[in-house]
Structure 1
Amino acid sequence: MGVADEFLKSAQRAENVTFYVSGKIAQQFYFTKPGEGETKFPNIYLLEQYETEKLLIDFLVSHGEKVKWNTRLTDTKENGDGVASVICRNGKAYDVSADYLIGADGASSTVREQLKIAFHGKTFPQNFMLADVYLDWDSPQHHIVTAMEKNQVMGFFPFKEKNKYRIFSFLHDSEKDVDAFSENDIKDNTENLLGLNIKIKRFIWFSVFRLHSRSVEAFRKNSCFLAGDSAHVYSPAGAQGMNTGIQDAYNLAWKLAMVLKSGFPNRLLESYDEERKPIARNLLKNTDLAFQFTVSKNPFFRFIRLRIFPLALKILLSSSFVRKTGFLRLSQLNIKYPDSGMNGSGARRSFSADAPSPGDRFPFFPLSDRQTSLDLLKNTGFNLLMFNVDSSDTELDAIKSWKNRTELDWLTMIDVEPCSGYAQIIQKWNIRQNSIMLIRPDIHVAYRSQPASLRDFQSYLSENNYPDSAP
């Protein structure tokens, strides 16, 4: 999209996590480029959600699109040609017809309700506080702070503007109605209960609410789809909510584009639910466990949380492997779709264990000071990497000729040869014969084969209903 530089300019880079217990520093650790070697962006950055939305909206506007504010959907019905909906804007109702409908309308989704898709899960009894504030304290701006007391946990996440923070807290006063909390309650909770020398100078906004842990039974119903919070809501313990919603949107968007613009059949859209639902449910399980550990009043878990956890975390994070694994999980660069119906393989000779399998994300790694493995991928459609290590084998030429005859506009073929600077990949992945690897628009592997075979590749494409895949 070309917006990464704008995001980085607006964001605060985090370089330290400090744990306070009863007002005293229990542990502190620094991290620099925890994702080095895994991405072009190896640091952890913090950015307000409204800034994220602003940058994305600016991108849309710069491409001639417009967000229609103060507009809500009131009714939707499927018909034989797609979806017929009613939207209300400025007091007037409008009929809208479309081929597809995406409900990305939040945890209280009208689309989900209209489709009668069950939203299974639970509501936690604890009150949760979230606020953006200006603080008066001496913590460095690049430090993330977690402060814990016997029955209190609070997190402080710095933004780029000096003394501006996002703070959260689990409030154990669960008997109190969420609407009854005031700014003074939040100030008292922050300034007096944690034993920190800290003052809230000004509130930008705050909210107290009950947390939910829920996921839909289906991400798709015929021509309608759910994405983001309308499909799943988590506790903030894993810091995964917005990232997961963006991953939903990306997974669905490229598939819709292929159906609408490149002649792919509707069957491709079945893989959206197939791939994203297991991810959502796995995250739900993990974030629930983290949340229960964080808020538990059980004396044993409280002891672990206050005395053992900070020390254990410091020991674990002294390992570069653990730091990298944690970064990949937090950034969701480790997501795989091993059971996707799109996966295929014609391999008769094994690739190495380092090589990505169908369903894996195509890995990032530097090839030189200026080049990375992702530079192989030339466009946002499907890319077929053709590893040419044996000039006497003509199968790759046969695949190229077939592609030229069929004029597949959704497929780009890319030669990867030892002399082209990609010898590192060929050696690392144990490529001994001419081979092919099909990469999806979302940079996940769809198919691989060693040796390359036009017949096997055509069979895979035909079985998975790729357009114009006949010989």
Structure 2
Amino acid sequence: MNRCEVLIVGAGPTGLVLALWLSKLGVKVRIIDRTASPGTTSRALAVQARTLELYRQLDLTSAVLEQGHRVPAANLWVKGEAAARLPFSAIGADLTPYPFLHIYPQDEHEQLLIERLRGFGVEVERQTELLGFNQDEGGVSAQLRHADGLQAQCEAAYLAGCDGARSTVRKALGIGFPGGTYQQVFYVADVQAQGPALNGELHVDLDEADFLAVFPLAGSGRARLIGTVRDERAEHPDKLRFEDVSQRAIEHLKVQVQQVNWFSTYRVHHRVAEQFSQQRAFLLGDAAHVHSPAGGQGMNTGIGDAINLAWKLTSVLRGQAEDSLLDTFEIERSAFARRLVATTDQVFNFITADGRLAGLLRTRLAPRLFPRVVALKSAREFLFRTVSQIGINYRDMPLSVGSAGHVHGGDRMPWVADDGRDNYSTLTRVRWQVQVYGAVGADLVQWCGTRGIPVEVFNWSEAHEAAGLMRDAVYLLRPDSYVALAWSNAGAEVLEQYFAERGLTGR
């Protein structure tokens, strides 16, 4: 119990997904958390399409879909009237198997991950605190304190800090966490209610003074309300009750609250760690980046961190890659985190800004422009790709090479379902693989065969061309299903060079 390959600190969704992915790949992990039990309140809600795609590798997607609630559309309200409706399926039907926003509360999400982790014989070690750690070329030596007060050493090859915005791991590493805190105070309430905004869709009210979003939960009349607290009430948010918050936006959305099941207030932070790794220690999730909840990106981004790191750690631990592969974790994920914080900052500032001009922009200009913007196919797709995270890419980074058609190295592989064959069906395997749409050379098939790299060949069709793929091109996919190399008419020598230059075996 005192030795493992990866010690994971923090058992939120990020830490649990990392533990699960590593366990599936045969890596010995320990996962500790200072809390006595998992959370019981539904904090993060949204599971985005890209997360659902990646969850297929863990056979999690079906369970998440069965237990959550699909949100088919978003609605914009202004001054008590519905101003615009954006149906997700009309935008993303040709882009992903999951063209919707999926609501799956974090407490239920964590329980599912914990149960699946137990299937690998791994239990979260509760009431276990990281006191400190030392690291050198040989590994990490961590000092732990258990619930009974006894201290123990844990030896590990690597340490993953998934321990939230107040991360002990980050502080021990001395890594800065620059950014700030917005002055606005928000409230969140899980309620039983009725009214037109309780129809299973997402509803947002843009008011001159207040902001309110209504997120549907599974079950009739259940919803999550997220709104702003303004005026002098925001000075002491810890003393507020639901009855104290402004009813203006609630009345605008015609929400009739019957029962409040949970209520809390919070401030929003925006910070990105100066480094995501140092020697053998890594920062993931809120330990590395926190930002506005606009767009439901936070939990999904942490899960993306975990998936990115898991296959790289495994490759190095199993001698299938040089240590330098681990440097690409920070390169890829920190770039995305900084873009995300900047984007959510802009959205957040728009919906919460005070003043007459800001109010006019929200209540008069936005309702007129929004329907016109979403009427454009390119604009709808951009919005969906951004929020669903299917637009995340690692272009122009060390593991990304070439282009073929509209697909570049570092891109998410376009999803195509043609003649009953889904090209994502092979991506359930966590390994390097090649996809070719058309004809493939015998030398490439032979080279891949000697290294155990599967080659999937699809009959060329108009659907593939429409998705941006190139006929007969070779697409090398990483174990996390992102495109590593895209090359027209590539032979074995191209793949040989790719792996050799990066110190990878491909096995």
Shift of 1:226: 0.6
What is the number of equivalent residue pairs in this alignment? Answer: 447
Closer/same/farther in 2, CA of residues 214 and 447 from structure 1, 3 Å limit: same
Alignment of 1:283-322 (within 5 A): 283-322=340-379
Alignment of 1:148-227 (within 5 A): 148-173=206-231, 176-186=235-245, 189-190=246-247, 194-227=251-284
Is 1:461 the counterpart of 2:480? The answer is no
Question: Given the alignment, which residue of 183, 189, 193 partners 1:135?
Answer: 193
Q: Distance in 2 between matches of 1:301 and 1:414?
A: 55
Closer/same/farther in 2, CA of residues 180 and 218 from structure 1, 3 Å limit: same
2:198/2:222 contact within 8 Å kept: no
What is aligned with 1:281?
338
Q: Which has the larger radius of gyration?
A: 1
TM-score (norm: length of structure 1): 0.87
What is aligned with 1:146?
204
Q: Distance in 1 between matches of 2:465 and 2:301?
A: 34
Give per-residue Cα distances to partners, 1:39-66, cap 9 Å, x unaligned. 1112222221112212222221233322
Output the amino acid matched with 1:358.
Answer: G
Closer/same/farther in 2, CA of residues 128 and 430 from structure 1, 3 Å limit: closer
Give per-residue Cα distances to partners, 1:159-218, cap 9 Å, x unaligned. 0112211111121236512312123324xx247874454343333222212211000111
Question: Given the alignment, which residue of 426, 431, 437 partners 1:381?
Answer: 431
Q: Distance in 2 between matches of 1:44 and 1:378?
A: 22
Is 1:413 the counterpart of 2:454? The answer is yes
Give per-residue Cα distances to partners, 1:265-298, cap 9 Å, x unaligned. 1111110001011100001111111111111113
Q: Distance in 2 between matches of 1:456 and 1:196?
A: 58
Is 1:116 the counterpart of 2:174? The answer is yes
Output the amino acid matched with 1:363.
Answer: P
Q: Distance in 2 between matches of 1:184 and 1:386?
A: 60
**2:231 match: secondary structure:** coil
Q: Distance in 2 between matches of 1:211 and 1:468?
A: 42
Q: Distance in 2 between matches of 1:460 and 1:53?
A: 38
Q: Distance in 2 between matches of 1:300 and 1:468?
A: 57
Q: Distance in 2 between matches of 1:431 and 1:240?
A: 32
Question: Given the alignment, which residue of 412, 416, 421 partners 1:371?
Answer: 421
Shift of 1:250: 0.8
Closer/same/farther in 2, CA of residues 183 and 463 from structure 1, 3 Å limit: same
What is aligned with 2:41?
none
Is 1:97 the counterpart of 2:148? The answer is no
TM-score (norm: length of structure 2): 0.81
**1:337 match: secondary structure:** coil
Give per-residue Cα distances to partners, 1:137-179, cap 9 Å, x unaligned. 3534312222233211011101011221111112123651231
**1:441 match: secondary structure:** coil
1:191/1:198 contact within 8 Å kept: no
**2:367 match: secondary structure:** helix
Higher relative contact order (CA 8 A, sep 6+): 2
Q: Distance in 1 between matches of 2:140 and 2:124?
A: 20
Identity over aligned residues, as a percent?
A: 28
**1:412 match: secondary structure:** coil
Q: Distance in 2 between matches of 1:192 and 1:397?
A: 65
**1:253 match: secondary structure:** helix
What is aligned with 2:390?
333
What is aligned with 2:24?
none
1:129/1:170 contact within 8 Å kept: yes
What is aligned with 1:443?
481
Q: Distance in 1 between matches of 2:73 and 2:400?
A: 40
1:22/1:194 contact within 8 Å kept: no
Is 1:397 the counterpart of 2:442? The answer is yes
Closer/same/farther in 2, CA of residues 173 and 75 from structure 1, 3 Å limit: farther
Shift of 1:105: 0.7
Q: Distance in 2 between matches of 1:190 and 1:79?
A: 57
1:33/1:43 contact within 8 Å kept: no
Alignment of 1:17-96 (within 5 A): 17-90=74-147, 91-96=149-154
Give per-residue Cα distances to partners, 1:107-147, cap 9 Å, x unaligned. 11111111111101111111121222222435343122222
List alignment gaps of at least 5 residues for structure 1.
391-395
